[in-house]
Amino acid sequence: MSKSKRQFRVWGGVAVASAVLILAFLSLTGCAGPAEITGVEPTATIYAPPPTDIPAPPPGPTPEALDFPIAAPTRAEVEEVEQASDETCIECHTNQQVLQAMATEEEAPEVESEGEG
């Protein structure tokens, strides 16, 4: 057996034995009874001193109008739109002229993979 293998076995055995001893020590220390609890005299509680300076109140709103680079927006007049009813749908879907005007034929997608390439 070579020297390095022998050293590996020796140090491996030492490592295993050390691990077993450490585990045994840790498991046996758990068997010891709890330490006696001793009373401690209460200490004085220190409170933070209250603030002496009162902060200034924030400034109030500006009563005068400010100058802006653009004019104020105006309200646009809204036109009332006629509400669509079920009769409107029926009229459009049954009117032959409207259907023909809106009808479009679907185009077949071009296949680019055909031919030499």
**pTM of the predicted protein model:** 0.27
Q: What is the pLDDT of residue 15?
A: 93
| pLDDT computed for residue 113 by the predictor | 67
The per-residue pLDDT for 22 is 92
What is the Cα–Cα distance from 103 to 92, expressed in whole angstroms?
12
Q: Which amino acid is at 115?
A: G
pLDDT averaged per 10 residues, the chain (length 117): 79 92 85 79 78 82 71 78 74 79 73 64
Q: Are 93 and 99 in contact (CB under 8 A)?
A: yes
| Inter-residue contact 112 to 106 (CB < 8 Å) | no
